[in-house]
A and B are shown apart, each in its own frame.
Chain A
Amino acid sequence: MNRIEFMTELAALLQDVPEEERRDAMQFYNDYFDDAGVDKEGEVISELESPVKVAEKIKADLLGQQGGGEFTETGYREKESIRKDVPASREGQKTEYGNTAYSYENNREEEKKPWSSNALKILLIIGIILVGAPIIIPCALAIAAVVVACVVALFCFFFAIVIGFAAIAIVGVVLTCAGLIALIPEIAVGLALIGTGLILSVIGTVGTLAGVKLCIVVIPGICRGIIWICRKPFHRRAVA
């Protein structure tokens, strides 16, 4: 790693600190390399260890002053958990009741023919419910929950693809802008940032479009599949 690579990486790592902080740090380390001289460039780089370490120390100090800034992360996490928990449990219950009801009706119709007595029939139903309920209800619940979780995960997966690529595109644009700004004090860093930024923008844009297309193809398919599965019991009943 040489000086230019070091400074470029440091600039990229400091993208999420305030502009003023980044400029100050970049100027400090730029001066530092200038004052150390070309002969000691390698020595300075090995002493500083890595841009990651330098950036970490700068950020740690900034966080210490502002009293921590993890609100974005917790916010994101909270959203995720709400998203996953609520639909899974609620929809799970709905489907579960639907399914068990149908399975009982099927059973009853099958048992109807050999046992013609009304009293026996009722006893049988109660018996089946008593014996079967503790097993069938939790099983149906579990299966429904798994199914709903899978569907939610599928949707999230495709959303994540789109959002991920969109994020890359945004990072690309931001890097390009940062590069343009950095161009004035430091041409090398600026050019490197612009280059990286443009590449990322293109990858991000192409990826986002591909992701959206993928979603357009896949999501209606999933929806149709779900509707088909949900309709199945009705159809069977109609046939029977």
Chain B
Amino acid sequence: MVFNTGAALLDAIVLAVVSRDKEGTYGYKITQDVRKAIEVSESTLYPVLRRLQKDDCLEVYDRQFDGRNRRYYKVTEKGAVQLNLYETEWKNYSSRINGLFEGGESV
């Protein structure tokens, strides 16, 4: 991909991926899902998850799976608000860029 994914967009994508599972989801699955959408190295995702967790946008809990504890991530209320904000911002941003590309009215 020729466009860089900035920190805010990465946060938004991770929040969106995590919010698709109401029960919460786990690190490996989040990484795979994010990588379906954008090219990002696997080692980039952990710091993002950790940061979102510290900012109270994500909460973690451990659940038994296959005889071991697996850590799950879930979007908090604050995280949902944040995701909403990102989605609105993205709609504005992308529609303006689209407008430019498609030669519509001046922005």
Contact = CB atoms under 8 A, between A and B. Distances in A.
Contacts of B54: 65
Contacts of B78: none
A53 B51 CA distance: 18
B51 A48 contact: no
Interface in B18-55: 26-29, 31, 41-44, 46-47, 49-51, 54
Contact of A49 (B29, B43, B47): B43
A159 interface: no
Report whether over half of chain B's contact residues are helix, strand or loop; otherwise say mixed. helix
How many B residues are at the interface, by size bracket? Answer: 10 to 19
A45 B26 CA distance: 18
How many A residues are at the interface, by size bracket? Answer: 20 to 34
A57 B44 CA distance: 7
B28 A35 contact: yes
A61 B43 contact: no
A28 B41 contact: no
Interface of A: 21, 24-25, 27-29, 31-32, 34-36, 44, 47-49, 53-54, 57-58, 60-61, 65
Interface of B: 26-29, 31, 41-44, 46-47, 49-51, 54, 66, 68, 70-71
